[in-house]
Amino acid sequence: MSTAEKNTNLIKALAANYGFDYCGIAKAQRLDEDARRLESWLNKGLHGSMQYMENHFDLRIDPSKLVPGARSVITLLLNYFPEQKQSEAAPKISKYAFGNDYHEVIRSKLKLFLVEMNEQIGEVHGRGFVDSAPVLERTWAQKAGIGWIGKNGNLITKQSGSFFFIATLIVDLELEYDNAIAKDYCGTCTKCIDECPTDAILSDKIIDGSKCISYFTIELKDALIPDAQKDKFDNWMFGCDTCQDVCPWNRFSKSNNEIAFTPIPEILNLSTNDWEAMTEESFKTIFKNSPLKRAKFEGIKRNLNFIKK
Ligand code: B12
Ligand code: SF4
Ligand code: SF4
């Protein structure tokens, strides 16, 4: 067995030990095709007011700018599909935000993962990323053979759908590479496009971020959501899962086993009236470890006000 093969096996075993559901590896290289797609997305203003998406273009398309001497990009997926559902009276919250903030949960796993790689393999330079860094995570997951990019823009796995977080480890270690899935298993389906409440899904797997409910309810920092969107949110208060809920591949979703993603009871049970009555103090206490913090108390109140009939 070659050293690359031995190290690859070890990394895939470590991924499973840390509770990741998928692990795939791609050769670290410049993403020229994606650079064109990203550039066009930005030029069309589909990022709305998410100015951070304009920053670090060179880093986003070239892993060796993030880790000097980068050889491999390891992609790890963590399932967040919950067993529990929200009550009918609750304002809708995206499933990814039911439990503790995934950034913290995954970051600590990645840290330990790198330490263990160094202990077991020898000196490996690398960095772990989840979400907030300039890394095209969906592209790397696709290149690592884990799934395909659906018409709804999400990375979809054939075995268990798309309710997964994506994390990447960029390392200066030569490994064995997985083959990208060449095929697209969306076929003639257009359910996500038809059902998106704000028509944010364009052709060619392009998402108009500036029209997505997730953008309006989480990323938009303005005091008001534009009137043109009124009555379109279908009771989504934080994020939106519609294009994944309607995706036939998500009938294969299995409940996650991550204790940290156990739903916060208030998310499942509070009615819109309960939310309206909530004070800032209770919000800060109940959601201190939750992704809802990103929208802040004022953002949640703004969203509640906007979805009110
Ligand atoms: C900005 C952002 C948003 C914005 C903009 C959305 C968007 N589509 O870009 C907003 C706030 C709207 C958003 C919403 C959501 N997001 Co978001 N978001 C991001 C972030 C930070 C950057 C994405 C980005 O680079 N966008 C720029 C566009 C141009 O890139 P892209 O959409 O990733 O598409 C690339 C590839 O798909 C590729 N591509 C397209 N077609 C094809 C075809 C082939 C063959 C290939 C090879 C490549 C390819 O082209 C693009 C550029 O290369 C990533 C984290 C990260 N660092 O990657 C999370 C991320 C994409 N989001 C995630 C999630 C979970 C969501 C939501 C589901 C949350 C929710 N429930 O509310 C929604 C889903 C909306 C949707 N349908 O996409 C997950 C996706 C997990 C998955 N299974 O795919 C990520 C990866 C975060 C994470 N670490 O887990 N998000
Ligand atoms: S998350 Fe909701 S608003 Fe955004 S693209 Fe999907 S269905 Fe449309
Ligand atoms: S709903 Fe249909 S078109 Fe959309 S991502 Fe899923 S399979 Fe593809």
Alpha carbon distance 238, 290 (integer Å): 12
**Going by CA atoms, what residue is nearest to atom 6 of ligand 2?**
243
Q: What is the pLDDT of residue 199?
A: 98
Helical packing angle, 102-121 and 3-17, nearest 10°? 140
Atom of ligand 2 nearest to the CA of 236: 2
Q: What is the pLDDT of residue 182?
A: 87
Q: Report CA Rg, the chain.
A: 20
**Going by CA atoms, what residue is nearest to atom 4 of ligand 3?**
192
- Three-state secondary structure of 208-273: CHHHCHHHHHHHCCCCCCCHHHCCCCCCEEECCCHHHHCCHHHHHCCCCCCHHHCCCHHHHHCCHH
Q: What is the pLDDT of residue 309?
A: 73
How many other C-beta atoms lie within 10 A of the C-beta of residue 184?
12
**Going by CA atoms, what residue is nearest to atom 4 of ligand 2?**
212
Q: Which listed residue (34, 62, 131, 172) is catalytic?
A: 131
Q: What type of residue sits at position 296?
A: K
With H, G, I as helix, E, B as strand and everything else as coil, classify residue 121.
helix
Atom of ligand 1 nearest to the CA of 218: 11
CA distances from 257 to 7, 36, 84, 264 (A): 27, 38, 12, 15
Ligand nearest to the CA of 165: 1
Q: What is the pLDDT of residue 275?
A: 98
Residue 201: DSSP 8-state: B
Catalytic site includes residue 131: yes
Q: Is 154 in the pocket of ligand 1 (CB under 6 A)?
A: yes
Q: What type of residue sits at position 60?
A: R
Averaged over successive runs of 10 residues, the pLDDT of the chain (309 residues) comes to 97 98 98 98 98 97 98 98 97 98 98 98 97 96 98 98 98 98 95 98 98 98 96 98 98 97 98 97 98 97 94
CA distances from 269 to 83, 86, 90, 291 (A): 15, 6, 6, 17
